[in-house]
Homo-oligomer: A and B are copies of this chain.
């Protein structure tokens, strides 16, 4: 159990992410209050042992976690601050810059809001898919405003640590550029790859190996939620996709023409693919992820 000075946390939005955070906090002995626009969802999260329903008159929480879809965060934050639900507020949305800009425009108190984004998730949704160890060893971006007192950032970083994750502090714009590269664009690439199998027959499926299984795993996830995320980070995602398309266009040219220079470019793409993959794998030892190669 992590020695936490957090006493009480409120979770607004009791889906898979909110409930997983709640479970990790409960495991560390933190008091957790839950809410959701759907009371049944709160009841399910409560059944999971994630905490108790948030009630009017509850004392303010040390941290209020907003775990609702990106396009709803500002509205929920403004309302929560109006009601004085906590000392510090954070969120878990996959995009940051637009939410921060809209929160400023909407008149949110930026000194008590520490935008966040845990780099973990599940294909399954809802409180029953929650796991206390969902964030163990994973990065968790925090993008504090210049007006944020260090003590407030510290409180949210403590929540991140209780969840077993590693806080990474960086500006919102940098977060979004990186999230486009490491998460949002790969999601669309996996979707484009998977879409070709929507009508696949049994013969095709009989030859599916672990390689395709892994390459398409992130193509799951609620389309409405992902449309929301992608629109919130549209420019950065488009830029990464354009680069991927350029590479694939060149590969098609090489395969169609078998021209010597084009084939050399194909070999170069494969080599740069190796290098990029090496960098991605190297980024993980600190998080104790098995580096031994799995099978294709």
Chain A residues packing against B (C-beta within 8 Å)? 119-124, 129, 134, 138-139, 141, 168, 170, 174-175, 178-179, 181-183, 185-198, 200, 203-221, 223-224, 226-227, 230-231, 234-235, 237-238, 240-245, 247-249, 251-252, 255-256, 258, 263, 266-267, 269-277, 279-284, 289, 293-296
Contact = CB atoms under 8 A, between A and B. Distances in A.
Contact of A293 (B124, B208, B224, B231): B124
A296 B251 contact: no
Contacts of A194: 272-277, 280
Contact of A244 (B192, B200, B238): B192
> Copies of this chain, how many?
2
Contacts of A218: 211, 214-215, 296
Contacts of A207: 119, 139, 141, 168, 175, 178-179, 182
A209 B181 CA distance: 11
Nearest to A140: B207
B220 A274 contact: yes
B295 A122 contact: yes
A275 B141 CA distance: 31
A211 B210 CA distance: 15
A241 B280 CA distance: 23
A185 B247 CA distance: 13
A245 B249 contact: yes
A223 B181 contact: no
A195 B256 contact: no
B244 A251 contact: no
Nearest to A137: B210
Contacts of A247: 191-192, 195
Contacts of A205: 279-280, 282-283
Given A207-B119, A276-B216, A192 B269 contact: yes
29 contacts: A119-B207, A120-B209, A121-B295, A122-B293, A123-B293, A123-B296, A129-B293, A168-B207, A182-B204, A182-B207, A188-B270, A189-B248, A191-B269, A194-B272, A196-B240, A197-B279, A200-B279, A206-B283, A208-B283, A211-B217, A216-B276, A219-B277, A220-B274, A221-B274, A227-B270, A231-B263, A238-B255, A241-B251, A242-B252
Nearest to A195: B272
